[in-house]
Chain A
Amino acid sequence: MSRNVKLGILGLAAILLLYPLLFSGAFALNVGSAVLLAAISASAWNIVGGYAGQISVGHGMFFGVGAYLPLLIYQITGLPPLAGVPVGIALSIILAIIIGLPAFRLRGHYFSMATIAVAELIRIFTGTWEYVGAAIGLQGPAVGRGWWDLTFRDETPYYYIFLGVLAVVLYVTYELQRSRFGSYLRAIKSDERAASSLGVSVRMTKLKALVLSAIFTSIAGSLYSIKTGFVDPESGFGILVSVQMVIIAALGGAGSLFGPLVGAIILVSLQTATNTWFGGGGSGLTYILYGGIIVLIARYEPGGLYEYWQRISPRLWRSRRAA
Chain B
Amino acid sequence: MKKTSHLMAALLAAVAISAPATLARAADPIKVGIIWPLTGNAAAAGQASKAAIEVALDIINNKHPELGDLPLAATEGLPNAGGAKIVVEFTDHQGNPSTAQQLAVRLITQDKVHALFGAYHSSCSFTATAVSERYGIPFMVGESAAGNITGRGFKWTFRGTPIASDYAATYMRFFADMKKQGRKIETIAIVNENTDYGTSVAAAIEEEAKKNGISVAIKVPYSANSTDVAPQVLQLKEKNPDVAIFISYTADAILFMKTMRNLNYLPPMVIGDDTGFSDPSFIPGVSAVAQGVMNRSAWDIGKPGTTTYKINEMYKAKTGRDLDDTSARNMQSFFALADALNRAGSNDPEKIRAALVATDLKPNQLMMGYEGVKFDQTGQNVLAATYLIQLKGDAYQLVWPDRAAAAKVEWPMKGWK
Contact = CB atoms under 8 A, between A and B. Distances in A.
A118 B34 CA distance: 37
B130 A27 contact: no
Interface in B93-117: 94, 96-99, 101-102, 105-106, 108-110
B292 interface: no
A137 B126 CA distance: 10
Interface stretch (A160-168, A223-231, A309-317): A223-231
B392 to A, nearest CB: 34
Interface string A120-142: 00000001100000111101001
A139 B157 CA distance: 16
A116 B43 CA distance: 26
Contacts of B122: 136
A110 interface: no
A232 B100 CA distance: 14
A232 B47 contact: no
B130 A287 contact: no
Contacts of B199: 134-136
Interface in B184-204: 194-196, 198-200
Given A27-B109, A234-B123, A287-B39, A137 B154 contact: no
Contact of B196 (A135, A155, A280, A281): A135
Interface in B75-89: 89
Interface string A273-314: 001100111101011000000000000000000000000000
Interface residues of B, number: 43
Most buried by B among A142, A229, A235, A276: A142
B126 A282 contact: no
A275 B46 CA distance: 15
A230 B126 contact: yes
B146 interface: yes
B389 to A, nearest CB: 27
A58 to B, nearest CB: 20
B106 A30 contact: yes
B106 A27 contact: yes
A321 interface: no
B92 A136 contact: no
A25 B112 CA distance: 12
Contacts of B38: 279-282
A26 interface: yes
B151 to A, nearest CB: 12
A284 B91 contact: no
A153 to B, nearest CB: 4
Most buried by A among B92, B101, B221: B92
A127 B90 CA distance: 30
Contacts of B92: 275, 279-280, 282, 286
B109 A142 contact: no
A230 B148 CA distance: 13
Contacts of A95: none
A73 interface: no
B218 to A, nearest CB: 17
B195 A276 contact: no
A128 B221 CA distance: 9
A282 B47 contact: yes
B90 A282 contact: yes
Given A228-B97, A229-B130, A235-B123, A26 B109 contact: yes
A270 interface: no
B154 A135 contact: no
A294 B194 CA distance: 33
B90 A153 contact: no
A31 B102 contact: yes
Nearest to A272: B102
B259 to A, nearest CB: 23
Interface string A214-240: 000000000010001110101100000
Interface in A2-27: 25-27
Contacts of A27: 102, 105-106, 109-110
A30 B221 contact: no
B255 to A, nearest CB: 20
A153 B134 CA distance: 6
A184 B97 CA distance: 40
Minimum-distance CB pairs A-B, first 6: A282-B38, A279-B92, A26-B109, A280-B90, A27-B106, A142-B130
Given A135-B195, A235-B98, A279-B39, 6 more contacts: A27-B102, A128-B221, A228-B101, A229-B126, A230-B123, A232-B97
22 contacts: A26-B109, A26-B110, A27-B102, A27-B110, A128-B194, A135-B194, A136-B196, A137-B126, A139-B126, A142-B152, A142-B153, A142-B154, A143-B134, A153-B134, A155-B105, A224-B98, A272-B102, A279-B38, A279-B39, A279-B94, A280-B89, A280-B92
Interface of B: 38-39, 43, 46-47, 50, 89-92, 94, 96-99, 101-102, 105-106, 108-110, 122-123, 126-127, 129-130, 133-135, 146, 148, 152-154, 194-196, 198-200, 221
